[in-house]
Amino acid sequence: MVEIGNVKEVIKDYIVKQLISMGESSPAITLLTPLAKRAIMNNIDSFDKFLKPIADKDGMIDIEGIFNEEMEIINNIDNFDIGVSTQKIYDFIWNEFCDWYIEICKTRLYDKTSTTRKAAQFTLNKVLQDSLKLLHPVMPFITEEIYTKLYNDDETIMTAEWPKFEEKYAFQKEEQEIEKLKDVIIGIRNIRNNMNVHPSRKSKLIVVTENYKNLINESESILNKLGFAESIELKNNKNGIPSNAVSVVTDGIEVFMPFEDLVDLEAEKERLQNEKTKLESEVARATKMLSNPGFVNKAPEAKINEEKAKLVKYQEMLDSVNERLKNI
């Protein structure tokens, strides 16, 4: 079961991140931090909170996965699975909406010339509105306060229409493509995290794919932002890709990042040399100890086995470091 306090924090952050026209003097706005106020007020230009859906597939594909999730939550509530539905709302708002959708659409929101900017604003507005309705059974007071301040000061959320699935928002092919793009971004982030690459360090992305070229081309701004890309090169095959490039492999898409883009080679060489020196010292120490008859004949068997295991481990680590030095 989700703690109500945690859900409140999610909703607070949710409002901060979504871009809705409220006016500088709105009571809801005054509850937010100055930074949050600037984030909202700087991105609501030309936004109409009563905006109707834009008849543009590129813009409306945003909603497909969102409404699928809503339908699952509605079914759980109808079946009185309140704990399950509350957890799903929490996960959806925190993960799908805040972590992914808001981050993905930022480039469109900040680009006032983008043809799909209003579609992104509509989606942000629509999803917040529906999420408040879905949360209302378990958080009646805070959802009522937020809803009446954001949407209609005279109308209560209790008489608002319950969310329902709309077939016109169903773009399953595009949703699958977005999931594939997310897999690529997660793979890139995992590699960078494992290699301790600083977020400010960008890298070239060499993308090898046959079936998803259009997806990569259309998602260039997303990959630049969320995949830390300095540039993107599309290829049909792996010819010409550096042998030391680090790779991300997903179904139908392979991404390669030149090693030198991720690591300062000179600094990495120095680090590996220092590590090599330490490991050589450990290997020499363990070898000398195990070659000493006085130690082998007198030490407990457990201690001898421990030193043997250390020698094997340090030798394997040393071999790995030497291999990495060879490839730099």
> What mean pLDDT is predicted for residues 243-261?
88
> What mean pLDDT is predicted for residues 295-322?
90
Q: Which of 124, 154, 170 is the last residue of a domain?
A: 170
For residue 154, the model assigns a pLDDT of: 56
- Hey, what are 44's tokens? 């609501």
Residue 81 has pLDDT above 80, yes or no: no
For residue 287, the model assigns a pLDDT of: 93
Q: 47 with 191, same domain?
A: no
Q: 188 with 208, same domain?
A: yes
Q: 15 with 124, same domain?
A: yes
Q: 159 with 244, same domain?
A: no
Residue 90 pLDDT class (50, 70, 90 cuts): confident
Any residues with CB less than 8 A from the CB of 21 and at least 6 apart, and which?
44, 47, 48, 49
Strand partners, 250: 253
Q: 130 with 278, same domain?
A: no
For residue 69, the model assigns a pLDDT of: 67
Please tell me which of 56-65, 86-95, 109-118, 278-287 the model is most confident about, judged by mean pLDDT: 278-287
For residue 228, the model assigns a pLDDT of: 92
Q: 245 with 304, same domain?
A: no
- Hey, what are 30's tokens? 């005054």
- Hey, what are 47's tokens? 């936004």
Q: 165 with 42, same domain?
A: yes
Name which of 77, 89, 85, 84 is nearest 130 in CA terms.
89
Residue 296 has pLDDT above 50, yes or no: yes
Residue 6 has pLDDT above 60, yes or no: no
For residue 9, the model assigns a pLDDT of: 52
pLDDT 10s digits, 181-213: 999 999 999 989 988 888 899 999 999 998 899
Q: Which domain, by its residues, includes 188?
A: 173-262
Q: 251 with 273, same domain?
A: no
Residue 66 has pLDDT above 90, yes or no: no
Q: 292 with 308, same domain?
A: yes
Helical pair 172-194 and 64-78, crossing angle rounded to 10 deg: 100
Q: 142 with 191, same domain?
A: no
Residue 102 CA to residue 17 CA, distance in Å, equals 7
pLDDT 10s digits, 22-60: 444 444 444 333 434 444 444 544 555 545 544 334 444
pLDDT higher at 52 or 321: 321
Output the domain CATH number for residue 34: 1.10.730.20
For residue 70, the model assigns a pLDDT of: 67
Name which of 124, 103, 133 is nearest 59 in CA terms.
124
Q: 104 with 178, same domain?
A: no
Q: Which of 115, 148, 170 is the last residue of a domain?
A: 170
For residue 97, the model assigns a pLDDT of: 82
Assessment of whether the complete model's pTM goes beyond 0.85: no
Strand partners, 248: 255
Task: Please answer whether residues 175 and 65 qualify as being in contact, where contact means their C-beta atoms are separated by less than 8 angstroms.
Answer: yes
Residue 153 pLDDT class (50, 70, 90 cuts): low
Q: 117 with 14, same domain?
A: yes
pLDDT higher at 87 or 64: 87
Residue 140 CA to residue 227 CA, distance in Å, equals 39
> What mean pLDDT is predicted for residues 54-80?
59
The average confidence (pLDDT) of the chain is 77
DSSP string, 266-278: HHHHHHHHHHHHH
